[in-house]
């Protein structure tokens, strides 16, 4: 799909090639594209021929999205005419999730409402945790036969999200996108299921990665579960600075991942490294100013501490 100019609404790409000046003229059209791609590729028919009934779809960065046998059992135990064709897993909103899409009842159907569809005057209302208590995890269970029916009838109707962007050269464009969950209104007996927060564990940044690599989580049968040794079921708030943004650099800054079982909040800024077997508890803030470096010594235990200044530890 081509990007379009704001002014003329013409495509940016002048031909179907993906090289030269056209390189910037293409963009991924949002995950709503899955239905057409699935159908057109022949994979949908292939799975139906194998006797498969449902597909489980989730965001690639959601490490909490595993096949839940309770949900699967609910799907297959319904009588034939009452079969649920679409399940959206939702979970309770926290302050970190105020931008997440939510489910609304509209004209007798469940619909997904995304922040991009909300008029500016109502955005605060949309973000309200008391008015919209849940958000879409994008863990979806969808009937294969229903996808086939809707694709053949050309009845897969998803709202178009208009996403304004600026190209590297400063040119304003719009990207037209669709979201996979927006099709919920097309399916029969669609359902939202409120699931535990543990089924929504996205890893988008190295701050998220630090949490899942730490002893806060263990891997059992392919599922990440929070350690029973942690007293509070909430995850610590971790903010790693720009020196940790790239995974390669992040990995070189930790000789081993610190013990974080009793951590509430960690902020790290500047040129900071961690020695082996460091333990972090409560609120820990480590700030190395420009030109300074802080090496947290191996075996350190930091509890409710602010660390600043300059500390170099070099091999002798």
More confidently predicted of 52 and 173:
52
Q: Please indicate whether residue 204 is annotated as part of the active site.
A: yes
For residue 298, the cross-strand partners are none
Say yes or no to pLDDT of 6 above 70. no
The angle formed by the CA atoms of residues 141, 143 and 147, to the nearest 5 degrees, is 115
More confidently predicted of 67 and 171:
67
pLDDT per position as a tens digit, 64-87: 999 999 999 999 998 877 889 999
Asked if 68 and 74 touch (Cβ cutoff 8 Å), the reply is no
CATH number of 206-308: 2.160.10.10
Say yes or no to pLDDT of 7 above 80. no
Given this model, what pLDDT does residue 4 score? Answer: 64
Q: What average pLDDT is seen over the chain?
A: 90
Q: Where are the domains of the chain?
A: 4-199, 206-308
Q: What is the DSSP letter of 202?
A: B
Residue 3's pLDDT band (cuts 50, 70, 90): low
pLDDT per position as a tens digit, 123-166: 888 888 888 889 999 999 999 999 999 999 999 999 888 888 88
Residue 232's pLDDT band (cuts 50, 70, 90): confident
Q: Say whether domain 4-199 belongs to CATH 3.90.550.10.
A: yes
pLDDT > 90 fraction of the chain, expressed in percent and rounded: 60
pLDDT > 70 fraction of the chain, expressed in percent and rounded: 98
Q: Rounded to whole angstroms, what are the CA distances from 153 to 150, 156, 242?
A: 5, 8, 49
Choosing from 52, 109, 204, 229, the catalytic residue is: 204
Residue 228: strand, helix, or coil: coil
pLDDT per position as a tens digit, 175-217: 899 999 999 999 999 999 999 988 999 999 999 999 999 999 9
Helix ranges, the chain (H): 34-40, 43-49, 69-76, 123-127, 144-152, 206-213, 247-252
């Amino acid at each position: 799909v081509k990007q379009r100019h704001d002014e003329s609404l013409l495509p940016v790409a002048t031909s179907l090639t993906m090289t030269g000046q056209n390189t910037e003229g293409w963009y991924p059209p949002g995950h709503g594209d899955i239905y057409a791609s699935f159908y057109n590729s022949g994979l949908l028919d292939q799975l139906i021929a194998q006797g498969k009934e449902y597909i489980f779809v989730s965001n690639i960065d959601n490490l909490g999205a595993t096949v839940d046998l309770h949900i699967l059992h609910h799907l297959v135990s319904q009588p034939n005419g009452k079969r649920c064709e679409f399940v959206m897993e939702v979970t309770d909103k926290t302050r970190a999730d105020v931008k997440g899409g939510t489910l609304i009842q509209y004209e007798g159907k469940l619909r997904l409402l995304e922040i991009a569809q909300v008029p500016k005057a109502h955005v605060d209302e949309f973000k309200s945790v008391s008015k919209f208590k849940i958000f879409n995890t994008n863990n979806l269970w969808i009937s294969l036969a229903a996808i086939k029916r809707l694709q053949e009838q050309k009845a897969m109707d998803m709202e178009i999200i208009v996403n304004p962007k600026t190209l590297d050269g400063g040119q304003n464009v719009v990207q037209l996108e669709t979201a996979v969950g927006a099709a919920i209104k097309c399916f029969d007996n669609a359902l939202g299921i409120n699931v535990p927060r543990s089924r929504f564990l996205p890893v988008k940044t190295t701050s998220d990665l630090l949490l899942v690599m730490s002893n806060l989580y263990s891997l059992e049968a392919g599922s990440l579960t929070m350690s029973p040794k942690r007293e509070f079921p909430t995850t610590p708030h971790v903010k790693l600075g720009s020196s940790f943004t790239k995974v390669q650099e992040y990995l070189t800054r930790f000789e081993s991942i610190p013990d974080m079982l009793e951590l509430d909040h960690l902020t790290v800024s500047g040129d900071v490294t961690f020695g082996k077997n460091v333990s972090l508890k409560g609120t820990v803030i480590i700030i190395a100013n420009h030109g300074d470096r802080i090496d947290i010594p191996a075996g350190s235990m930091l509890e409710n501490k602010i660390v600043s200044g300059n500390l170099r530890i070099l091999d002798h």
